[in-house]
């Protein structure tokens, strides 16, 4: 939250060997309503176990001291922390203790930082008191086991160390952190939000489905319960979300409280790939019959929720008959107008229809299948007629009919997302896919990934091109938007272009940039929201770390794309797209309760394809592993 507000709601106190920071401490007598945990006051603590506190400080300025800084804090220099607490100042937690050691003697104390209320905090601290060293070692061990129990569900060994370390550990870790927080708690991004963004949260789920499907299912349920009965997603899902009783963007109260003035065109469409990935990974088709409430009223099965999401788009069509732009699409800085039309959303819609068609076919819902096929054909025809511009897909139409992203435009005449999504959605013909992806490679690609569009907006921005406020090469104004790199990797892999898919991964992967760390600047193990593009004088510098949808899109691009692990409703297709130089690699994967030991060999230096697939000694007809053929342990050999 903003600084002047946070200053005046916070105070620290000292109690029971710990500094306690209270936020909204003055609300302790007020009835509780707003906060999720039922308390108005938030408490954090910083405590000492294994020794008595000799002096403490809860006020940052007193701790640092006048004309001192973090290099020589007054509290440390003087050895006396002064026992100050804060009240309308910046809080801090500093504790000292006096330890007398005989020659050769050593002693361990533990400092604990946590967010717990009084009694729990005291109990926690007490648990470390007798033997802090042993307790800390046990906790670290438990933490490691907890993480490995998740990460071990997929482990890969390829010839590329950066790829291995990202997929096995760091990208996966980044995915879990983003899964928990979405964009809701990023100091850089937005401070503390009052809820979860719909699209962000539904996208973030995708990154952990192959590792923790049960966690994913819980969150999918939650997000479906934030879908309005008209099929649209609530743009912001409050932390206090109460399914069945929420107001919606159609109510002034929702708009006033959340600041979100209208539905967005894309929100509910993200449900399709997410639900599909979950069902395909687990085989849990029964989930489609689970009844879940809508946000405002009414309830329906998951299948019904998806049908209504399609209906929402059909009920909001623009003048050309493509889904209307509404408030915005994925790109927050692109306002085509409520009646504008976005190619990206149209492609997402086409993909959504295909996924629903697959579910309908599997359930024997022939009426729905027929209707979906008709709508798909109609949508495909419109996209082809209206959005293909010779060698690229345009970005869309403004509500007054202006074409955005056409080849003849002086600025922003080539956009990345419509090209990659034309492939992901399955709409592009083979020739269109080749042309569009070649345009991206030639025009948008850089040493750090592909820019979001080119040239940046400057003198020719239309009214809804909000990205023009950013310096060229920054964020949505021709920055290398990291989230889009994942879709690009996936699209190239779906085309069978292993070299390019892996090239895009390497250009933007944190672990592959350790020899350029002084340029990239961010931590070498997590993604940033964007990297500054060639139009910036800091080309290559990455920004806005940790909470970015990149974690999940790149994970999906690498797992489904480069590694080619593509579950569907009845099994698993193996379709790697790798550099020609990879002679072999292995994958250890848990799949529907079974163990897959996969070895891929590439004796002919190919980028993709399948010469043979062997499952437990049996040669299969193509690159598909039917689920019913899998045993508890499976030896799988794919020869490219
Ligand atoms: O899609 C958005 C996201 O919801 C928030 N960060 C920026 C992205 C692109 O505009």
> d(Cα 204, Cα 219) in Å, to the nearest integer?
10
CA of 332, closest atom in ligand 1: 10
The count of other CB atoms within 10 Å of the CB of residue 592 is 16
267 CB within 6 A, ligand 1: no
The count of other CB atoms within 10 Å of the CB of residue 280 is 22
CA of 333, closest atom in ligand 1: 10
Look at ligand 1, atom 4, and give the residue with the nearest C-alpha.
200
Nearest to 314 by CA among 273, 372, 275: 372
Whether the ω angle into residue 455 lies within 30 degrees of 0, i.e. cis, is: yes
Tell me the CA–centroid distance for residue 329 and ligand 1, in Å.
9
Contacts of 114 (CB under 8 A, 6+ apart): 44, 45, 47, 121, 124
Based on the number of CB atoms within 10 Å of its own CB, is 203 exposed (0-12), middle (13-18) or buried (19 or more)?
Answer: buried
Look at ligand 1, atom 7, and give the residue with the nearest C-alpha.
332
**DSSP secondary structure letter of residue 28:** T
332 CB within 6 A, ligand 1: yes
331 CB within 6 A, ligand 1: yes
Contact 437, 497 (CB under 8 A): yes
> d(Cα 212, Cα 301) in Å, to the nearest integer?
23
330 CB within 6 A, ligand 1: yes
Contact 198, 236 (CB under 8 A): yes
CA of 199, closest atom in ligand 1: 4
User: Of 267, 327, 478, 483, which is best to mutate to test ligand 1, by the most ligand atoms within 8 angstroms of its C-beta?
Assistant: 483
What was the pLDDT predicted at 38? 67
What was the pLDDT predicted at 194? 78
476 CB within 6 A, ligand 1: yes
Q: Please name the residue ranges forming H helices in 244-342.
A: 252-258, 271-282, 302-315
> d(Cα 421, Cα 484) in Å, to the nearest integer?
10
User: Of 331, 348, 486, 528, which is best to mutate to test ligand 1, by the most ligand atoms within 8 angstroms of its C-beta?
Assistant: 331
Q: In degrees rounded to 5, what are phi and psi of residue 490?
A: -60, -45
Q: In degrees rounded to 5, what are phi and psi of residue 277?
A: -60, -40
Tell me the CA–centroid distance for residue 196 and ligand 1, in Å.
13
CA of 481, closest atom in ligand 1: 9
199 CB within 6 A, ligand 1: yes
What was the pLDDT predicted at 183? 84
Nearest to 426 by CA among 483, 353, 499, 498: 353
Mean pLDDT of successive 10-residue segments in the chain (640 residues)?
Answer: 82 96 89 64 94 97 96 95 96 96 97 94 96 97 96 98 98 96 77 85 98 98 98 95 97 94 97 98 98 98 98 98 95 96 98 98 98 98 98 97 97 98 98 98 98 98 97 98 98 98 98 95 94 98 94 98 98 98 98 98 98 98 98 98
Look at ligand 1, atom 6, and give the residue with the nearest C-alpha.
332
Length reported for the chain: 640
Q: In degrees rounded to 5, what are phi and psi of residue 469?
A: -70, -20
Based on the number of CB atoms within 10 Å of its own CB, is 168 exposed (0-12), middle (13-18) or buried (19 or more)?
Answer: middle
329 CB within 6 A, ligand 1: no
> d(Cα 605, Cα 607) in Å, to the nearest integer?
7
Tell me the CA–centroid distance for residue 543 and ligand 1, in Å.
14
Nearest to 324 by CA among 309, 354, 346: 346
Look at ligand 1, atom 9, and give the residue with the nearest C-alpha.
331
Q: Cα–Cα–Cα angle for 20, 26, 28, nearest 5°? A: 85
User: Of 200, 270, 451, 480, which is best to mutate to test ligand 1, by the most ligand atoms within 8 angstroms of its C-beta?
Assistant: 200
Q: What are 472's two structure tokens?
A: 């060229």
Which positions are annotated as active-site residues? 332
> d(Cα 322, Cα 28) in Å, to the nearest integer?
52
pTM of the entire predicted model: 0.94
243 CB within 6 A, ligand 1: no
> d(Cα 469, Cα 479) in Å, to the nearest integer?
13
CA of 197, closest atom in ligand 1: 4
Tell me the CA–centroid distance for residue 531 and ligand 1, in Å.
14
607 CB within 6 A, ligand 1: no
Tell me the CA–centroid distance for residue 537 and ligand 1, in Å.
23
What was the pLDDT predicted at 37? 60
Tell me the CA–centroid distance for residue 255 and ligand 1, in Å.
19
CA of 200, closest atom in ligand 1: 4
Residue ranges with strand state E in 100-229: 110-114, 154-157, 195-197
Q: What are 164's two structure tokens?
A: 């291995």
> d(Cα 446, Cα 182) in Å, to the nearest integer?
28
What was the pLDDT predicted at 33? 58
> d(Cα 479, Cα 491) in Å, to the nearest integer?
20
197 CB within 6 A, ligand 1: yes
What was the pLDDT predicted at 187? 72
> d(Cα 256, Cα 262) in Å, to the nearest integer?
11
235 CB within 6 A, ligand 1: no
Q: How far is CA 188 from CA 83, 243, 543, in A?
A: 32, 30, 9
What was the pLDDT predicted at 607? 98
Q: In degrees rounded to 5, what are phi and psi of residue 515?
A: -85, 5
266 CB within 6 A, ligand 1: no
């Amino acid at each position: 939250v903003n600084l002047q507000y946070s200053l005046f709601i916070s105070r620290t106190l000292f109690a029971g060997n710990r500094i306690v920071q209270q936020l909204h401490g003055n609300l302790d007598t007020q009835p509780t309503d707003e906060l999720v945990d039922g308390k108005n006051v938030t408490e954090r603590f910083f405590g000492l176990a294994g020794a008595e506190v000799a002096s403490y400080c809860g006020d940052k300025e007193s701790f640092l001291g006048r004309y001192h800084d973090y290099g020589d804090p007054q509290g440390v220099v003087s050895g006396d922390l002064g026992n100050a607490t804060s009240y309308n100042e910046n809080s801090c937690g500093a504790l000292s203790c006096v330890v007398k050691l005989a020659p050769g003697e050593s002693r361990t104390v533990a400092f604990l930082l946590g967010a717990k209320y009084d009694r729990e905090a005291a109990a926690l601290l007490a648990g470390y008191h007798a033997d802090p060293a042993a307790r800390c070692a046990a906790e670290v061990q438990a933490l490691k086991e907890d993480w490995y129990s998740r990460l071990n569900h997929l482990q890969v060994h390829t010839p590329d160390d950066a790829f291995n370390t990202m997929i096995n550990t760091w990208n996966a870790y980044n995915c879990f952190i983003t899964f928990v927080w979405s964009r809701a708690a990023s100091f850089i991004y937005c401070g503390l939000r009052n809820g979860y963004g719909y699209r962000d949260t539904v996208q973030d789920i995708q990154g952990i489905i192959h590792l923790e499907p049960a966690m994913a299912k819980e969150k999918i349920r939650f997000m479906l319960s934030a879908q309005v009965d008209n099929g649209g997603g609530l743009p912001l899902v409050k932390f206090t979300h109460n399914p069945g009783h929420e107001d919606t963007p159609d109510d002034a109260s929702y708009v006033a409280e959340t600041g979100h003035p209208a539905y967005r065109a894309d929100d509910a469409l993200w449900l399709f790939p997410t639900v599909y990935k979950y069902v395909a990974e687990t085989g849990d088709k029964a989930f489609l019959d689970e009844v879940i409430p809508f946000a405002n009223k009414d309830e329906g099965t998951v299948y019904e929720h998806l049908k209504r999401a399609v209906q929402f788009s059909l009920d909001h069509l623009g003048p050309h008959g493509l889904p209307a732009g509404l408030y915005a699409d994925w790109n927050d800085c692109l306002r085509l107008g409520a009646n504008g039309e976005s190619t990206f959303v149209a492609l997402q819609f086409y993909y959504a229809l295909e996924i629903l068609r697959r579910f309908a076919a599997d359930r024997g819902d022939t009426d729905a299948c027929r209707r979906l096929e008709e709508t798909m054909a109609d949508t495909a025809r419109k996209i082809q007629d209206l959005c293909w511009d010779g060698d690229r897909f345009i970005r869309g139409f403004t509500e007054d009919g202006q074409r955005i992203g056409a080849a003849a435009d002086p600025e922003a005449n080539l956009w990345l997302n419509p090209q990659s999504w034309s492939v992901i959605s399955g709409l592009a013909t083979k020739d269109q896919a080749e042309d569009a992806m070649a345009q991206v490679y030639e025009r948008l690609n850089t040493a750090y990934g592909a820019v979001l569009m080119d040239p940046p907006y400057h003198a020719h921005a239309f009214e809804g091109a909000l990205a023009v406020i950013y310096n060229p090469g920054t964020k949505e104004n021709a920055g290398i938007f990291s989230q889009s790199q994942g879709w690009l990797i996936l699209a190239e892999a779906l085309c069978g272009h292993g070299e390019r898919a892996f090239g895009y991964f390497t250009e933007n992967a944190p672990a592959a940039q350790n020899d350029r760390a002084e340029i990239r600047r961010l931590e070498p193990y997590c993604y940033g929201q964007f990297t500054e593009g060639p139009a910036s004088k800091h080309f290559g510098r990455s920004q806005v770390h940790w909470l970015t949808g990149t974690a999940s899109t790149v994970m999906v691009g690498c797992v489904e794309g480069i590694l080619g692990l593509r579950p569907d409703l009845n099994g698993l297709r193996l379709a790697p797209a790798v550099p020609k130089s990879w002679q072999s690699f292995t994958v250890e994967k848990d799949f529907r309760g079974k163990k897959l030991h996969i070895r891929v060999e590439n004796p002919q230096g190919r980028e993709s394809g399948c010469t043979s697939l062997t499952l437990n000694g049996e040669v299969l007809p193509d690159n598909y592993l039917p689920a019913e053929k899998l045993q508890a342990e499976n030896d799988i050999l794919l020869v490219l």
